[in-house]
Structure 1
Amino acid sequence: MHDVKITITVAKVLKAFLEDASAPRYGFDLMRDTQLASGTLYPILARLEKAEWLTSEFEDIDEEAEGRPARRFYTITANGASSARIGLAELHAQIWPGARRFRLGHQEGTA
């Protein structure tokens, strides 16, 4: 398994998958939820799939009958979900290093 650098844009994609880790997602759906353009989203999906954080498969439809191409659905793997949660927590700690300390101090001060 490969390491994935978790940037803000990668974090948006991972967060979308973690909202319901068992739900397969397709590109347009992810573009809408993350507000990322296709030129940003699809390279991220490719990197996550290469790192084995995601798997993908095309839906089995009759494209002519449906009037559209088959969608490629992505699903986060169990290892991907675990790695994503850890990576997102680390990113959060980097961006807001005092957030946990502040919340704990605030709770202790109000008791």
Structure 2
Amino acid sequence: MDESPPVRIRLTMPTRAVLDLLMSTAADDPPWGYRICEEAGLGPGTVYPILERLEEARWIEGTWETEVPADRPRRRTYQITDLGSCSYQAALAKTKRPAARLRWGLRPGEAR
């Protein structure tokens, strides 16, 4: 088992957009990089580094398609892991605490 220290993930708005998308996709229809770019409204120069960091932190798992389609390149699909799901939900819960909300200039009960 890997005993390296966990990688810290900064939950920027683009990172949250990628994680939200991965949390909402069905396990039998995992998104690939370009689809994530399209659905999150982010460019590949933003999305692919986020995917690399999340995969390094073991929050997501990427796998290559097993078959090579004749009409397009093989896709690498991504799914959120149990660690990623739990870690992201815990991080989101922390941002709902009053102290965290005040840090971002939000008053209790005020939506972002």
With the length of structure 2 as denominator, give the TM-score of the two structures.
0.76
Alignment match, 2:40: 34
Alignment match, 2:19: 14
- The Cα shift of 1:54 comes to 0.6
Q: Quickly say closer, same or farther: Cα 1:45–1:24, change in 2 above 3 A.
A: same
Alignment match, 2:3: none
Alignment match, 2:84: 80
- Across the aligned residues of Structure 1 and Structure 2, the Cα RMSD in angstroms comes to 2.1
- Distance in 1 (alpha carbons) for counterparts of 2:50 and 2:9: 10
Count of residue pairs brought into register by the alignment: 99
Given candidates 77, 90, 108, the residue that maps to 1:98 is 108
Given candidates 5, 10, 29, the residue that maps to 1:5 is 10
Identity over aligned pairs, percent: 31
Give 5+ residue unaligned stretches, structure 2. Answer: 1-5
- Distance in 2 (alpha carbons) for counterparts of 1:48 and 1:9: 12
Name the structure, 1 or 2, with higher relative contact order (CA <8 Å, separation 6+). 1
> Moved runs in structure 1, 4+ residues, more than 6 A?
none
- The Cα shift of 1:21 comes to 6.1
2:108 is matched by which residue type in structure 1?
G
With the length of structure 1 as denominator, give the TM-score of the two structures.
0.77
